Structure 1
Amino acid sequence: MIRTEALTKRFGRVTAVDAVDLEVREGDVYGFLGANGSGKTTTVRMLLGLVLATSGSIDVLDESMPGSARSVLPRVGAMVEGPGSYPHLSGRANLASFDATGADGQRRTRGRRIEEALERVGLASVDKRPVRAYSLGMRQRLGLAAAILRRPSLLVLDEPTNGLDPQGINEIRTLLLELNREGTTVFLSSHLLGEIEQMCTRVGVLDGGRLVLQDQMDALRGPTGRTEVHTPDPEQARRLLTTTAVEIESTDDASGARLLVRGLEPADLNARLVEGGVRVTQLSPERRRLEDVVLAATTSGTDRFGRDGVDA
C-alpha cells in the first residue's frame, strides 16, 4: 500500500527526513510513531504529494507519487495537520463541497455517504451551525468524516485524536479498527505511545528524521522470558518459590501483587502455586512494553512522547 526507498527531505542545510524506507502492507493498521519534531508530518506530506522529496522514491497503492497523484489520491482518505474546512459553512456543507468533484456515481450517493460519515464520527446530530462555532474536537471529527467520505482503500491520518477527550479518543479508535476490519488499510501518524500500542498491527519509529525501527507489533512486544503472576498471596508465593528468581513489581493491599518469575515454565509455575495453596488470579508470559522498545531504539527518549490524550 505504501513503500518508500531512501526517502529524504532537506530544507536548506536541515535534513528533516533522512533515507526512510517505509513498508505498509495491505490490511495493516500501521503506527508511524515519533516525538514531535521527528519528521512525521513532513513524511506524511511527501506521501500525499503535498511536499516534494529531495530524493528517494514513493509508491502509494502500487503507483509512483507524486506523478500518479490524479489516480491515487481519490482512493486515499487523509487528514494532515488538522482538518481543513470552510469556517462559514456547516459541517454537512463542507462535506458536500469536499465531494463536489467526485465521479457521477459518487455524486449520486453523496447525500447518503455524508450522513453515514457524520454518523460514524459522532456528528450525526450536529445542527446547521458554521464550523467556526465547532470545538476543536468537533472539527477533528469533521476532518475524519471527510477522510472516510469516499470509502477509501487507504486512510492516512496525522494525529487524528488531537483535541479529543478520552471518550472521544476511544470512539475514534473503535471506528478506525472497524474500518480496518471492513478492508481499509490505516496509516496512523502519532506521538502517543498508548494510541499506537492499543491499535496498531505494525509500527515504524522515526527519530531525528531516521526510521530506527519497523516491525510487527507482536514481534516488538515479544515475551521477555519471565512469567507474570497476579496473586493476593504474594508473601506465600515468595516463600514457595524461594529457589526461583522472583521479582515483586508492585504490591497493593486490595488486589495483591504482580510477581515476575523466571526459571519455571508457566504450566509448572501454576501447578506449584496451586499445590501450595496460593491463589492465582492471572498468569501469563510477560511481554515487552512498546515504551521500553521505543526508548531503547531512540536517542530522544520517551519523555518526548505522550500517552493517550496527553501532549508531549
Structure 2
Amino acid sequence: MIVTRGLTKRYGRVTAVDAVALRVGEGDRYGLLGPNGSGKTTLVRMLLGLVYATSGEIEVLGEPVPRRVLRVLPHVGALVEGPGAYGHLSGRANLSYLDAAGPGGSRRGRRARVNEALERVGLGGVDNRPVRTYSLGMRQRLGLAAALLRAPRLLVLDEPTNGLDPQGIREIRDLLTALNAAGTTILLCSHLLTEVEELCSHVGVMDGGRLVLQQRMDEIRSPTGRTEIRTPDADRVRALLDGQVEVADGDRLLVRTPDPAELNARLVRAGARIAELRPERRTLEQVVLAVSGPGSDRPA
C-alpha cells in the first residue's frame, strides 16, 4: 500500500526526513512512533503529495506520488496536523461540503454518507452548533469522520486521539480495529506508546528524521529466551540454578533457559516455592528506548 525508497526532505541545512524506506502492506495496522520533530508529519505530508521530497521515491496504492497523486487521493482518507473545518458551519454542513467537493461528489447518497460517518465516530447526535464551539475532542472526531466519508482503502491518521478522554480513545481504537477487519489499511502516527501497542500490527520508529526501527509487533513481543521467576525462595533458587540466573532483584529472577516448563518442573521437584513463572517478553517501550538516540525527546 505504501513504499518509499531513500525518501529525504531537506529545508536548507536541516534534514527533516533522512533516507526513509517505509513499507506498509495491505491490511496492516502500522503505527509510526516518534516525538515531535522526529519527521513523522513531514513524512506523511510527502505521502499525500502535500510536500515535495528533496529526493527518493514514493508509491501509494501502486502509484507514484506526487506524479499520480490525483489517482490515489480518492481512495485515501487522511487526518493530518489536526482537523480543518469552517468554524461558522455545523459539523454536518462541513462534511456535506467536503463530500460535494471531493471526486465524484454526487448528491445521491450524500446525506446517508455524512450521517454514517458521524455515527461511526460518535457524533450521530450532533446538533447544528457551529464547529467553532466544538471541544478539541469533538473536532478530532469530526476530522476522522471526514476521513471516512468515502470508505477509503487506506487511512492515514496523525495523532487521531488528541484531545479525547479515555472512553473516547477506546471508542476510536475499536472503530479503527473494525475498519481494519473490513479491509482498510491504517497508517497511524503517534507519540503515544500505549496507543500503538494496543492497536497496531506493525511498528516504525522515527528518530531525528530517520526510520530507526520497522518491525512486526508480534516479533517485538516475542520471547527473549529468558524466564522471569518470582519466588520467596530467591537465594535457594539461585543456588539451584547456578550460572543460569542473569538478573536477581529481590524476589525477582531472570533465568536463561530454553524450556520454561522444564525449569518449573525442576524447581517444584526441588521444593522451591514459585509465585510466578513466565517467559520474558520485551515491551514496546524497551525497544523504542533501545533504538532512540541519546537525549532525544522520546515517545511518551
Question: Do both share a fold (TM > 0.5)?
Answer: yes
| Aligned counterpart for 1:265 among listed residues 259, 264, 267 | 259
Structure 2: how far apart are the matches of 1:64 and 1:104? 22
RMSD: 2.2
| Aligned counterpart for 2:232 among listed residues 222, 230, 235 | 235
Who is 1:295 aligned against? 289
Task: Tell me by how many angstroms 1:258 deviates.
Answer: 5.8
1:163 and 2:163 equivalent? yes
Question: Structure 2 counterpart of 1:285, which letter?
Answer: P
> Secondary structure in 2 aligned to 1:168?
helix
Change (3 A) 1:16 1:264: closer
Give the alignment of 1:236-251 within 5 angstroms. Answer: 236=233, 239-240=236-237, 242-244=239-241, 245=245, 247=247
Measured against aligned partners, the alpha-carbon deviations of 1:163-190 in whole angstroms (never above 9, x if no partner) come to 1122222211111111111100000111
Give the alignment of 1:143-162 within 5 angstroms. Answer: 143-162=143-162
1:72 and 2:72 equivalent? yes
Structure 2: how far apart are the matches of 1:269 and 1:129? 64
Who is 1:310 aligned against? none
Structure 2: how far apart are the matches of 1:246 and 1:237? 13
CA contact 1:29–1:201 (8 Å) conserved in 2: yes
Who is 2:57 aligned against? 57
Flag structure 2 segments of 5+ consecutive residues without an equivalent.
none
Give the percent of matched residue pairs that are identical in Structure 1 and Structure 2: 65
Structure 1: how far apart are the matches of 2:273 and 2:120? 47
Task: Tell me by how many angstroms 1:265 deviates.
Answer: 1.6
CA contact 1:26–1:185 (8 Å) conserved in 2: yes
Change (3 A) 1:105 1:85: closer
Structure 2: how far apart are the matches of 1:69 and 1:63? 7
Structure 1: how far apart are the matches of 2:295 and 2:212? 13
CA contact 2:74–2:103 (8 Å) conserved in 1: no
Q: Which runs of 4+ in 1 moved over 6 A?
A: none
Task: Tell me by how many angstroms 1:273 deviates.
Answer: 4.9
Who is 2:39 aligned against? 39
Who is 1:253 aligned against? none
Question: Structure 2 counterpart of 1:291, which letter?
Answer: E
Flag structure 1 segments of 5+ consecutive residues without an equivalent.
251-256, 307-312
Change (3 A) 1:39 1:175: same
Measured against aligned partners, the alpha-carbon deviations of 1:87-110 in whole angstroms (never above 9, x if no partner) come to 111111111111003465864222
Measured against aligned partners, the alpha-carbon deviations of 1:225-259 in whole angstroms (never above 9, x if no partner) come to 11234x6xx31466356322275668xxxxxx765
Q: Which moved more, 1:154-163 or 1:214-223?
A: 214-223
Q: Which moved more, 1:150-159 or 1:103-112?
A: 103-112
Structure 2: how far apart are the matches of 1:98 and 1:150? 10
Change (3 A) 1:264 1:24: closer
Measured against aligned partners, the alpha-carbon deviations of 1:26-85 in whole angstroms (never above 9, x if no partner) come to 011111111110111111101001111111111100001111121100100000000011
Structure 1: how far apart are the matches of 2:226 and 2:137? 41
> Secondary structure in 1 aligned to 2:101?
coil
Structure 1: how far apart are the matches of 2:249 and 2:118? 45
Structure 1: how far apart are the matches of 2:248 and 2:194? 24
Task: Tell me by how many angstroms 1:113 deviates.
Answer: 2.0
Structure 2: how far apart are the matches of 1:273 and 1:120? 53
Structure 2: how far apart are the matches of 1:300 and 1:91? 44
CA contact 1:294–1:301 (8 Å) conserved in 2: no
Task: Tell me by how many angstroms 1:152 deviates.
Answer: 0.2
